[in-house]
Amino acid sequence: MIKIVLINTAIIMASVLIHYEFLRNISRLIPRMKIKHRFRIVFGVFGGLVAHSVEIWLFAAAYYFTPRIHGLGYLEGDFDGSFLDCVYFSYTTFSTLGFGDIEPHGHLRHLAGLESLTGLLLISWTASFLYFEMQRHWIKS
């Protein structure tokens, strides 16, 4: 039990830190860009998408490697055990879309629930950040 708590905590902390660093660096770059404001915001949107993708792939790595540790759970359903299936499951979980064609069992259920919560918060953070950036530079465009 302690293993899964440590794994989950480490993955969530890493995701939040990755997200923070992406948004911090984007906020430093946007005002310095010598392009029209609307293109700066597009840059921010793509930066947010990249940040979310990196975080999703981090969770996917956990879904891929954690089942190899005995007794910590597994994924089943329309799942062949490949890393890309773990990425697909992570995208649907992070975005809270959850098709349900792959199901977590055992302790991986906790990670899936925490990924949904983390995804919801980080997506909201990105939306708030982009709204702030748009408001901050709106008059200048």
Distance, CA of 6 to CA of 63 (rounded, Å): 14
CATH class entry, domain 2-140: mainly alpha
Q: 94, 15 in Cβ contact below 8 A? A: no
pLDDT at 139: 65
pLDDT at 48: 97
pLDDT at 126: 97
pLDDT at 134: 86
Low-confidence stretches of the chain (pLDDT beneath 50): none
pTM of the complete model: 0.92
pLDDT at 140: 57
Centroid of chain to Cα 96: 11
Selection from 97, 100, 129, 133 nearest residue 115 by Cα: 97
